[in-house]
Amino acid sequence: MILSVANKYEIQIGTISQANFDWLSSKNYAGWVLFADENTAELCLPRIEEFLPEDTPVIVVPEGELNKNLETCQDMWEDLFAAGVGRRWCAICLGGGVLEDMAGFVSSTYKRGIDFLQIPTTLLSMVDSSVGGKLGIDFNQVKNSIGVFNDPIAVWIDPVFLETLPLREIRSGYGEIIKHGLIADRDQWDKIKTITDLSTVDWETIIPSSVNIKREIVLEDPFEKGLRKALNFGHTIGHAIESYWLETDLRLFHGEAVAAGMIMESWLSTQLEALSSDELREITDYCLSMYGHQSIPEDSLPELLALMQQDKKNEDHRVNFTLLSAAGKARINATAEEELIVEAIRYYNGLAHA
Amino acid sequence: MILSVANKYEIQIGTISQANFDWLSSKNYAGWVLFADENTAELCLPRIEEFLPEDTPVIVVPEGELNKNLETCQDMWEDLFAAGVGRRWCAICLGGGVLEDMAGFVSSTYKRGIDFLQIPTTLLSMVDSSVGGKLGIDFNQVKNSIGVFNDPIAVWIDPVFLETLPLREIRSGYGEIIKHGLIADRDQWDKIKTITDLSTVDWETIIPSSVNIKREIVLEDPFEKGLRKALNFGHTIGHAIESYWLETDLRLFHGEAVAAGMIMESWLSTQLEALSSDELREITDYCLSMYGHQSIPEDSLPELLALMQQDKKNEDHRVNFTLLSAAGKARINATAEEELIVEAIRYYNGLAHA
């Protein structure tokens, strides 16, 4: 399956084969360089190694969000120089969202930009970060606060890499698939909510429709001036929870935080938009059944609210939300008072023993 | 005088007035932030301060090429955060090439890019760096090696700022004006070579024609795939000399290094291209009359050649030159053997007592 993004580049979903690298060869780059993280270098690189020239420089970076920073970028830029990479080279970025955001940013700024290709290896990066051109790193304790918008020359999504992932990681990425259905495609949501076992999902079918929803939104609004904010559903509260938990021992995955965020923001949608209480119940039940429940301590509320205030999408110091007017229909640029946000969190906490 | 760049933005050459800031106000930014360096904050900011709201955050960075690095960028990003600058703000960049390259890069990457406006304050930045979208910083001992291509929302060139500059700085920028004539406009070169006193030049006439030459070249080839390399005339050897002298006590300005580079690359042009010996003599005499002579020590040759090898524009380890087939006509992608480059340097050294 091939999805074209505004005739600028193509997203291929299916097995990566010699044909892919024949196409890359036909572009006549002066050389290829490969970025991977510690995990993908070990688990994913062997699956494509046979297609690469033996002297391809491989730059391996430490994995994880905590390393998505300027220090790692400096190492990567230095490694590119050391490998003699020139402006007519192409970087192949093999990894999850962290690696792809960072390697894409490093490529886009090295010698004012070299071409790069993305091979996402996690479900999250397949359906989310590999579409849309958002690249960057964390800075000043703010996620993705330094970066650029730039497109890869191609995205190759091969579900075979999902076999390398622990189930919890798959479940995390699945949160974005739920979100795509809820904000833009009622039919997709109706299909998704029947899924109960992530180990038996037919990814070759689910991924293309999810990627396509994101693709259509991004094409309408590449620089997040309006519609693209729809993708923020579940993320205003979700990001705050994710950041807050980063500082604690208990690690919360992105999709887990977003699932909780979607429940709370669905509750807000019943208060501020036309989402029905039946729909709220359906969303709440499904997210709880897939992600369980993680109570939010009362004493974390001030910090959570402060984190929401810092979001890039805010204007004039009001917290910006994307809410639902129905399942399958988003409404951007909603705002909520602090009291109501606190009520939403308490609604979620009240589900603990539901 | 207004020059439009591909309908994307306009370059105004003339007095900056309230009308400029009325136009900026009409764009409805959430706020303005101003970048300046230590010198422009003191000498140039007072000329536009009356047009800025009193609470405009002003971010002052240390001046000079040695500060055009990632550490300064980090300070600038942190200052933007501290000032509460959001994505819908506009940055006003008031300074020479170093400040403009760096503040443009910082703006283009802060929260994945905010709009920025350039007010160049040196002759060099007026005719060179403010057109063409090249932004960036020095990294790993290589000039401009990290950066992006991105356009400002407007460029306001006000020759009044030239009054704040020492003559040597003006003469440095004037090197690019000579270059623009030599690579693309015989008439402009014929006009320029009659200029002997830089303190009496009518900048309001000279700057627009020079900016226009660069503008036309950049429009044809925004990402330096071909034609734009014409702008590299004098710079292959010039940059190497400039980098080499950076490490010595004797400071050589960019235009001074480029003037010497143009003499040497004109000599190469008589060997490898159709440039006549009369034209070589004319170029040599004019550059020497304006810039004097600075002998290049024989023992610096190995390092100079190594520096030329590192240039971003090289492919396949051969040193890439832009040469002249005639005064007013450039030929890109020429290459020269090391022996010939050494001969060119010796030609220049032989002019010491000419």
**Does the pLDDT value for residue A300 go beyond 70?**
yes
| Subunit contact B145:A312, Cβ cutoff 8 A | no
A109 with B136: Cβ contact below 8 A: yes
Name the closest residue on chain A to residue B105, using Cα atoms.
A109
Identify whether the C-beta of residue A336 lies closer than 8 Å to the C-beta of residue A321: yes
User: A139 contacts in B (CB within 8 Å)?
Assistant: 77
- Per-residue pLDDT for B263 more than 80? yes
| The amino acid at B325 | S
Number of Cα atoms under 13 Å in the Cβ half of residue B131: 32
Which of B75, B87, B112, B116 has the highest number of chain A CBs within 10 A, making it the mutation to test binding with A?
Answer: B112
**CATH code, domain with A259:** 1.20.1090.10
Largest CA distance in chain A: 60
Contact residues, chain B, for A316 at CB < 8 Å:
30
Does residue B61 surpass a pLDDT of 70? yes
Q: Of A106-110, A315-319, B184-188, B268-272, which range is least confident?
A: A315-319
| B30 touching chain A per CB within 8 A | yes
B284 touches chain A (CB under 8 A): no
Instruction: List the single residue in B86, B109, B140 with the smallest CB-CB distance to A77.
Output: B140
For residues A132-142, give the mean pLDDT. Answer: 91
Is residue A213 included in any domain, yes or no? Answer: no
Whether B278 and B338 share a structural domain: yes
Q: Which residue of A has its CA nearest to B149?
A: A112
- Same domain, yes or no, for B72 and B151? yes
CB pair distance less than 8 Å for A312 and B146: no
pLDDT tens readout for residues B332-349: 999 999 999 999 999 999
- If you write DSSP's letter for every residue of A195-260 in order, what string do you get? ---GGG--HHHHHHHHHHHHHHHHHH-TT-SSGGGGGGTTHHHHHHHHHHHHTSSS---HHHHHHH
State whether residue B69 sits within 8 Å of chain A by CB.
no
Q: Does B2 touch chain A (CB under 8 A)?
A: no
Q: Does residue A119 fall inside a structural domain?
A: yes
What is the nearest CA distance from B302 to chain A, expressed in angstroms?
A: 20
Cβ separation A148–B108 shorter than 8 A: yes
B228 touches chain A (CB under 8 A): no
pLDDT band at A318 (very low <50, low <70, confident <90, very high): confident
Do the domain assignments include residue A354?
no
Element containing residue A299 per DSSP (H, E) = none
Q: Are residues B160 and B187 in the same domain?
A: no
Angle subtended at Cα B65 by Cα B259 and Cα A103, rounded to the nearest 5 degrees:
115
Task: Name chain B contacts of A132, Cβ cutoff 8 Å.
Answer: none
B142 interface with A at CB cutoff 8 Å: yes
B155 and B279: one domain?
Answer: no
**Mean pLDDT over residues B75-82, rounded?**
97
Contact A109 B147 (CB under 8 A): yes
Using CA coordinates, name the residue in chain B closest to A86.
Answer: B312
Do the domain assignments include residue B149?
yes
Residue A91 pLDDT > 60: yes
Percent above pLDDT 90 for chain A: 81
Q: Chain A: nearest CA to B290, how far in angstroms?
A: 33
- Name the residue of chain B whose CA is nearest to A135's CA: B112
Q: CA angle A251-A252-A255, nearest 5°?
A: 150
How does the average pLDDT of chain A come out, rounded?
93
Percentage with pLDDT > 70 across chain A? 97
Chain-chain contact of B113 with A149 (C-beta, under 8 angstroms):
yes
Among A10-19, A24-33, A78-87, B310-319, the minimum mean pLDDT is found in B310-319
pLDDT above 70 covers a percentage of chain B that reads: 97
Q: Does B77 touch chain A (CB under 8 A)?
A: yes
Range of the domain at B113: 2-164
**A27 and A150 within one domain:** yes
How many CB atoms within 10 Å of residue A129? 25
In the prediction, which pLDDT does A223 show?
A: 80
Whether B34 maps to a domain, the answer reads yes
Chain B nearest C-alpha distance from A299 (Å): 26
* Contact across the interface for B140 and A87, Cβ inside 8 Å: no
Query: In one letter, which amino acid is B129?
Result: S
How high is the pLDDT of residue B278? 97
Looking at per-residue confidence, does A2 or A25 come out higher?
A: A25
Of the listed ranges A308-322, A323-337, B100-114, B301-315, the one predicted with least confidence: A308-322
Q: Which residue of B28, B109, B141 to mutate against A (max A Cβ within 10 Å)?
A: B109
Residue A270 and residue A139 share a domain: no
Q: Which amino acid is at B157?
A: I
Q: Do A148 and B109 touch (CB under 8 A)?
A: yes
Q: What's the pLDDT at B119?
A: 98
- What's the pLDDT band for B315 if we cut at 50, 70, 90? low
Q: Residue A98 domain-assigned?
A: yes
- Which CATH number fits the domain that encloses residue B124? 3.40.50.1970
A189 lies in the same domain as A331 = yes
Q: Show residues of chain B in contact with A142, CB under 8 Å.
A: 81
Q: How confident is the model at residue B19 (pLDDT cuts 50, 70, 90)?
A: very high
Are residue A243 and residue A112 in the same domain, yes or no?
Answer: no
Mean pLDDT of B79-101: 96
Strand partners, A154: A10
Element (H, E) at A115: strand A115-120
**What residues in B contact A71, CB-CB < 8 Å?**
none
Which residues on B lie below 8 Å from A149 (Cβ)? 112-113
Asked if B110 and A134 come within 8 Å (Cβ–Cβ), the reply is no
Q: In chain A, what residues touch B314 (CB-CB under 8 Å)?
A: 86
Give me the sign of the Cα torsion angle B14, B224, A100, A249.
Answer: negative
**Residue bearing tokens 């071909």:** B226
pLDDT at residue B275 is higher than 80: yes
Confidence band (pLDDT; 50, 70, 90) for B4? Answer: confident
In chain A, what residues touch B222 (CB-CB under 8 Å)?
A: none
Name the region of B57 (left: φ>0; alpha: ψ -120 to 50; beta: rest): beta
To test the contact with chain B by mutation, choose from A73, A106, A109 the residue with the greatest count of B C-beta atoms within 10 A, namely A109
- Quote the pLDDT of residue A354: 57
Tens digit of each residue's pLDDT (9 = 90 or more) over A154-196: 999 999 999 999 999 999 999 999 999 999 999 999 999 999 9
Look at residue B276 and give its three-state secondary structure: coil
CA distance A145 to chain B (A): 5
Q: Is residue A214 part of a domain?
A: no
pLDDT, one tens digit per residue, over A44-77 is 999 999 999 999 999 999 998 889 999 999 999 9
Same domain, B106 and B205: no
pLDDT at B8: 85
Query: How many Cβ contacts (< 8 angstroms) between chains A and B?
Result: 81
Distance CA B229, CA B323 (A): 10
Whether residues B68 and B142 fall in one domain: yes
Does B354 fall in a domain?
Answer: no
- Say if the Cβ atoms of A112 and B144 lie within 8 Å: yes
Query: Does A185 lie in the same domain as A156?
Result: no
The mean per-residue pLDDT over the stretch B263-287 comes to 97
Average pLDDT over residues B290-318: 84
Domain tally, chain A? 2
B62 with B91: CB under 8 angstroms?
no
Tokens standing for A202?
Answer: 């037919």
Please state, rounded to an integer, the average pLDDT across all residues of chain B. 93
| pLDDT band, very low/low/confident/very high, at B316 (cuts 50, 70, 90) | low
Q: How far is B66 from chain A (nearest CA, A)?
A: 18
Domain check: are B148 and B208 in the same one? Answer: no
A303 vs B: CB within 8 A: no
pLDDT higher than threshold 70 for residue B267: yes
Q: Is the model's pLDDT at A313 over the cut of 70?
A: no
- pLDDT tens digits along A235-283: 999 999 988 887 777 778 999 999 999 999 999 999 999 999 999 999 9
Among A119, A147, A164, identify where a domain stops: A164
Give the end of a domain, one of B164, B196, B215.
B164
Last residue of a domain, one of A164, A186, A212: A164
CB contact under 8 A, B147 and A312: no
